[in-house]
Amino acid sequence: MTGTADTATAPSHRRLGFDREKYIAMQSEHIQNRRDQIGGKLYLEMGGKLFDDLHASRVLPGFTPDNKIAMLEQLKDETEILVCFNAKDLERNKVRADLGITYEDDVLRLVDVFRERGFLVEHVVVTQLEETNHRAGAFIERLERLGLTVAQHRVIPGYPHATARIVSDEGFGRNQWSQTTRDLVVVTAPGPGSGKLATCLSQIYHDHARGIRSGYAKFETFPIWNLPLEHPVNVAYEAATADLDDINLIDPFHLAAHGEQVTSYNRDVEVFPLLAALLEKLTGSSPYASPTEMGVNMAGHAIVDDEACREAATQEIIRRYYKAVVEEAITDDDDEVSERIALVMSRLGLSSESRRVVEAALAVQARTGEPGSAVQLHDGTIVTGKTSPLLGCSAAMLLNALKELARIDDDALLLSPESIEPIQTLKTAHLGSKNPRLHTDEVLIALSVSAASDEKARRALGALRQLEGCDVHTTTILGNVDESIFRNLGMLVTSEPTFQKKALYRKR
């Protein structure tokens, strides 16, 4: 095992930069105040992930992935959730990178999760629908068989600039109306670009045609409006949405109205004139003078350690860069997305050297000539793993990290060669694998079996929870198995954009 500590630069425990309880209390109260201000039905567009906001939990240490849903549970009896998805995302089989599932599957997962937590979910909206979206059509039929009511929203030529057409019978008027029954309607989706704002505006158009008073507000965690434009937490949002070419900017409408610089982003600024025009046309006036005013985000007020959040956000930006270059290597795409993130990194003076595990993993590879890996524990200790005839570098690193956390001697064998050999024989002789080395899942299974009779193995297994949130880097692209194990353990993994073996066909 290779383990070195740098206690001068790393904290002895994970620093929390965000107050979860303060956030939940302030956010629910602020939403209630906005409802009182609007009156009638409020459509609340939920930016980002509602249930499992993993990005927020990474850049705001202390923000848990279920913060938003926990906040809404305080308003559950008055709340209805409407899930929308973009038909084009289904046609291109878009996948949620953090969960590894398609948007199609995530729609079903979201409905199940919300219902399990006691929320009313009866309506789904499909946006950007065209006659050629055959896969979306099949999914609509499936949703209806499952008892959900599906509204179909068509592509509107000129959206979002052709206001006269959009706010007419030829625009929103062609969309189907979702007849919701609660006064607070939360509009959410599997990911960005799903048409949440257009869904809200279309609903308001149809409500007013039926004499129903309704309004709009937005709950978007990022960018955080009361943090500076170049704050790493806000810059990390640009890195996360580089594939959409989103950029943060100073809200020009807010600056003109109030003489105050606050942070917004291009899509909100671009669509704000449409929102204002719609509200003015329907009600005679708009309650908002800027995109920032239409938001209800209180996350900035719950940051209690700005430095901890800055450090977490810079690491997330670097992780996003590595994620992009790996994806481009796998799909043989051009480097457009990674180049955008590289520019974001340069603005903050970041490089791969800003991520300590990168240098440590590359050093293992340089020393051994084989793939290497490294993990940084929460006390700052760097633990590495090398490739051997018995173990892949990720599996070796995982065992070494568990030894370090459980205070087990480096020389101790948690898994003897005799216990590993039958697993290798099973893989190569019976299951058709050409690689005899154990993956992380096989190591954990073998360790759990050993734990029944070996006290050291039990201690090592008991330390697994301490790996959550730890940074990892590997010198080759991970296979699906190792990637899934690290994700399930909550470890934050990056890889060099290099395949372990050169091949034209790859089965990860």
Which domain CATH number covers 375? 3.40.140.40
* Dihedral angle computed from the Cα positions of residues 67, 69, 70 and 72, in that order, rounded to the nearest 10 degrees: 120
Shared domain check, 393 and 490:
yes
Domain annotation covers residue 434: yes
In terms of Cβ atoms closer than 10 Å to its own Cβ (0-12, 13-18, 19+), residue 81 is: buried
- pLDDT for the residue numbered 501: 65
3-state DSSP call for residue 288?
coil
Shared domain check, 478 and 350:
yes
Q: Which tokens go with 88?
A: 């084009």
Q: Which residues of the chain have pLDDT under 50?
A: 1-12, 504-508
Among the three residues 302, 323, 340, which one is the final residue of a domain in this structure? 302
CB 222, CB 49: distance < 8 Å? no
Domain annotation covers residue 327: yes
Domain annotation covers residue 501: no
CA distances from 426 to 10, 421, 449 (A): 43, 9, 16
Among the three residues 302, 325, 357, which one is the final residue of a domain in this structure? 302
Shared domain check, 216 and 332:
no
DSSP code string of 190-258: SSTTS-HHHHHHHHHHHHHHTT--EEEEEE--SS-TTS-TT-HHHHHHHHHTGGGT--EEE-HHHHHHH
Q: What is the 3-state secondary structure (H, E, C) of 400-431?
A: HHHHHHHCCCCCCCCCCHHHHHHHHHHHHHHC
The amino acid sitting at 111 is V
- The whole-angstrom separation of Cα 367 and Cα 373 is 12
On the CB side of 223, CA atoms within 13 Å amount to 32
Shared domain check, 261 and 127:
yes
Shared domain check, 354 and 260:
no
Shared domain check, 312 and 219:
no
Q: Which residues contact 485 (CB under 8 A, 6 or more apart)?
A: 439, 440, 441, 444
Split into its structural domains, the chain has a count of: 2
pTM of the model: 0.84
| DSSP-derived secondary structure letter, 18 | B
Q: Which residues contact 153 (CB under 8 A, 6 or more apart)?
A: 125, 126, 127, 128, 129, 175, 176, 195, 198, 199, 202
3-state DSSP call for residue 481?
helix
Closest CA to 152 of 178, 188, 184: 178
Shared domain check, 363 and 232:
no
- 493, β-bridge pairs: 472
Shared domain check, 427 and 334:
yes
Shared domain check, 125 and 24:
yes
Shared domain check, 129 and 51:
yes
- pLDDT for the residue numbered 6: 34
DSSP code string of 22-69: HHHHHHHHHHHHHHHHH-SEEEEEE-S-SS--HHHHHHSTT--TTHHH
Shared domain check, 313 and 291:
no
CATH of the domain at 182: 3.10.630.10
CB 443, CB 489: distance < 8 Å? no
Domain annotation covers residue 6: no
Q: Which tokens go with 453?
A: 């009779």
Among the three residues 281, 302, 323, which one is the final residue of a domain in this structure? 302
Domain hosting 103: range is 17-302
DSSP code string of 455-471: HHHHHHHHTGGGGTT-E
